[in-house]
Structure 1
């Protein structure tokens, strides 16, 4: 680049820098006057103090206007509120229990011997007193027959002595009568031994798997079969000790078998244990459930549910809970005035918090905008500032039409 072009660019940059310095520096006019610049030139280049004060006033006024506009001209805090609801706790108990038949008997013989016959089979429904199996009874049959003969002989002897009258002494007659009574007792014993060769069902129900076969030698401790009366099922379950004062005999229950999802059976509390287990701090409870269709089996597991009146507590949004040195609290809004209400958290869920406080259902609490609140202060709810919900002033439509005509 040529030298004269470089000098021209430097001169232009210097003039621009000088103009900026003269324009915005407050003492630029004084400095120019000291170096001999005419006053007319200074008046053209540097603005007067009055002009600067006027501009500064305009800027300050604009800033104040923006500040007022930013606050909307209203210092009342804007909050988002939500009504208080209520919920129940400790109103339901759920537990897992085991089912048993209302009557379950393991049948064992009353005598020892070899099995000669099994009358029933597994799965049969039997009645009380029905024969299940029989033992060999030849020896007992003979003994019963001998006792019958001895009784008949003693009876005939008594009859002969009575017919002889005074020819027989009273002592001889009495001995004959005693002999007949002994023969009767011997016959009853023989008949009882013979009867015990039949294994009878002590109760009605369904026969389980028979574990013996004909020909087996059995004793009085040998189980032959298990008979279950499944007309009702007893379900044992354990409840925490805090429910020990709330549960009672006869209270309704519902039970769902784990093996039958979706099915539900109703029943009632049948019995309650008299003490709390110290190891698990639980109380044993037994429920009775009807089984009219024989759907349930002994040994099934059940999900048992018991309902209680429960305890009602107010619920608030988790965002409404605030903390201070005194503990937790919420802001309640009543007639656009805030009130600080202390709360005690009972149960915390993802969508609501159960609290113990002087709150009623329908009370309004602050959920958002709690930073500027104070006790007894005035607030505005977010719904009140909605332009679509705010009522229009009277004559607004007429004023709008008049303004449009004036513009024309």
Structure 2
């Protein structure tokens, strides 16, 4: 009895195993096409391909500097009597901005004038004495010719005339020296009135810094005021060797600052240093920025975006469409059968969410036409392989038909 039961169990197990093998064989006997049809399609989203221009830009950080500045300093020492301007006041070219105590220099001028008056009187006296000596020499010379005057009297008259002539020359020189001293004292008196004088640029500037107060005693060449020019203003940044070769004078730049968020100021590269700093291996670059309203101020931190190059008629796709497989870049397109196709590409310039792509050297004209006649996958490509079925949203199905690529200009 037990033997019959065991044989029945074995029979049942054999029947179950045979059924499982048969079912598995029927599943495997389906064609590859049928198996692909049974595979689940990957939902994706598509985006258009554009033909247009794209620019490569580089952003640099820097600082604003005054295009022109004047450090007002006295040529003489003295006490600051009066400051005619204060911080942020406008200054006109040639305007008196500071006055020093001039009492000592006024006295020096008065003394020089008195010495000049004495020198003039001495000169008049010397002229008179010379005239008397010349008349005496003429009288003695006439008497000598008539034999009425001795040789010694004649010699004495000649010596007297020469002496008076020398005294006249000395008096004349003393007068010139007195005039020079008077001019010098007047110049030094003029130094007590300090003018803001600069060359070139606008005729009006602004006081950027004040270093002294009224009543301070200053020595010669002590800075009193810093007068700056705000329009135009200069932006300075430093570049490495990698970017140096792509910059040149005349390139346009867009400048922004956190002080005025959302505003862009147009600048132009005007100077590029011919040498690099040894400690940083960077070169100085200067931008000239129009600042008519004076909103930009020296010392502000700025960001300058410079257009290094621009490519026309480039193939542009969204950055999300670019994928990487085994260190190779490419994009997925969808053919008419809603099947994903992998197109190897070489990425180029990236800007404003767009990337320039170029077909690899192995691609032919047919691949190019195929690429430009469809759309690229921008969502879901991480799950795709070449030849896999995809599921496209209904609103984008018509976009998979052959359509010409649009033209776009990427700033």
| TM-score relative to the length of structure 1 | 0.61
**Relative to structure 2, which stretch is displaced further, 207-216 or 177-186?**
207-216
Q: Deviations over 1:148-189 (max 9, x none)?
A: 222233234445555755455443332222112111111111
Cα distance in 1 for partners of 2:235, 2:302 equals: 8
Cα distance in 2 for partners of 1:253, 1:68 equals: 58
1:343–1:219 CA distance, 2 compared to 1 (3 A): same
Identify which of 76, 86, 106 aligns with 1:111.
76
Aligned to 1:298: 298
Q: Displacement of 1:388 after TM fit?
A: 9.3
Cα distance in 2 for partners of 1:284, 1:151 equals: 57
1:205–1:153 CA distance, 2 compared to 1 (3 A): same
Q: Displacement of 1:268 after TM fit?
A: 1.7
Q: Displacement of 1:354 after TM fit?
A: 4.3
Q: Is the 8 A contact 1:323 1:329 kept in 2?
A: no
Q: Displacement of 1:353 after TM fit?
A: 7.5
Q: Displacement of 1:200 after TM fit?
A: 2.5
SS state of the match for residue 210, structure 2?
coil
Cα distance in 2 for partners of 1:146, 1:387 equals: 103
Identify which of 349, 363, 370 aligns with 1:364.
370
Cα distance in 2 for partners of 1:142, 1:342 equals: 92
Q: Does 1:127 align with 2:92?
A: yes
Q: Is the 8 A contact 1:83 1:362 kept in 2?
A: no
Aligned to 1:189: 184
Q: Is the 8 A contact 2:69 2:226 kept in 1?
A: yes
Q: Displacement of 1:215 after TM fit?
A: 2.4
The higher relative CO (CA closer than 8 Å, separation ≥ 6) is in 2
Cα distance in 2 for partners of 1:264, 1:319 equals: 31
Cα distance in 1 for partners of 2:70, 2:260 equals: 26
1:330–1:232 CA distance, 2 compared to 1 (3 A): closer
Q: Structure 2: which 5+ residue stretches go unaligned?
A: 1-7, 16-25, 38-43, 136-160, 199-203, 400-411
Q: Is the 8 A contact 1:115 1:215 kept in 2?
A: yes
Q: Displacement of 1:65 after TM fit?
A: 11
Q: Is the 8 A contact 2:345 2:357 kept in 1?
A: no
Q: Deviations over 1:68-95 (max 9, x none)?
A: 983899xxxxxx9998656877721212
SS state of the match for residue 308, structure 1?
strand
Identify which of 199, 209, 213 aligns with 2:194.
199
Cα distance in 2 for partners of 1:152, 1:84 equals: 95
What are the residue-to-residue correspondences of 1:233-244 with 2, within 5 Å?
A: 233-244=233-244
Q: Deviations over 1:319-353 (max 9, x none)?
A: 765549xx66789999x9xx998755557899867
Q: Displacement of 1:259 after TM fit?
A: 0.2
Q: Deviations over 1:215-261 (max 9, x none)?
A: 22211253322212212211111233223222222322222232011
Aligned to 1:267: 267
How large is the Cα RMSD of the aligned pairs? 4.9
Q: Structure 1: which 5+ residue stretches go unaligned?
A: 1-16, 25-61, 74-79, 374-379, 390-408
Cα distance in 1 for partners of 2:123, 2:175 equals: 8
SS state of the match for residue 274, structure 1?
coil
Q: Displacement of 1:98 after TM fit?
A: 0.8
Aligned to 2:64: 99
**Relative to structure 2, which stretch is displaced further, 255-264 or 183-192?**
255-264
| TM-score relative to the length of structure 2 | 0.60
